[in-house]
Chain A
C-alpha cells in the first residue's frame, strides 16, 4: 500500500456526462500528479499540482480540469465525456518534485 488513495475504484457513465475523480496523497506529500492509462496510449501525464498550485501540464484536454485543495487532496473533473475517455486514471504523489512518485490504485472509468 503506497498510502495514496483514490475514489471511486470503478465508474461507469454515459457519453456527455461529467464525473469527478478524487485523490488523497500520502501524508505530507505536497505534489499530486494525474495520469491517464489506456491500452493504446500507455501512461499519459495529465497535470501536476504542488501545494495547491498548478505546476505542470501535460496532454490534458480542455474538457478536463483539476484542482488541489488546502488539505492537499485533489480532484480531476472530466466533462462532456466521450467513449475514448474510457481508461484507468492514476493519481500519484511525491514529497517534492524530484522525489519518487507513489501511485494510487487508480480509478477505472468506462464511458458507454
Chain B
C-alpha cells in the first residue's frame, strides 16, 4: 500500500526565510512524486515532479529514497508563496495500474 505523509498542517515563516515543506512516503517500488500547489480560491496545479529535476518559482525537491522523503525547499520565502501545498505519489498497484495518493497538505503562511 502506498502512503504520503505531510506532518505539518501549517507552516509559518517570515519573508526572506528559508522554507522546507516535509513529505514522507511509503511505497515498496519506485515511486513518481509530485508537488501540487493551491493558491487561495484557485484550482490545484502542478508545481514540480521529481523526474524533471527542475526548479519552479524558486522551489526544488529532491527524492531521497533512503529516507523515503521528497521535501520541498525554497531558500527565500516570498509573500506570494503563501498557499496550500500537497505532496503526491504515483505508483503501480497489483492489477497493473497506477494509483495516485495525495498527502493531507501543508498550508504555508509567509509573514511579511
Categorize the interface residue count of chain B.
Answer: 20 to 34
- A90 & B104 in contact (Cβ 8 Å cutoff): no
Residues of A within 8 A of B32 (CB): 98
- A56 & B43 in contact (Cβ 8 Å cutoff): no
Complex CA gap A103/B104 in Å reads: 17
Contact A42/B105 with A56-B93, A56-B97, A97-B97 known, Cβ cut-off 8 Å:
yes
The main secondary structure of chain B at its interface with chain A is: strand
Set B49, B98, B105: member contacting A43, Cβ < 8 A: B105
- B49 & A106 in contact (Cβ 8 Å cutoff): no
Tell me the B residues contacting A by CB distance below 8 Å: 32, 34, 36, 43-46, 49, 86, 90, 93, 97-105
Nearest 6 pairs between A and B by C-beta? A97-B98, A42-B104, A103-B44, A103-B43, A100-B46, A42-B105
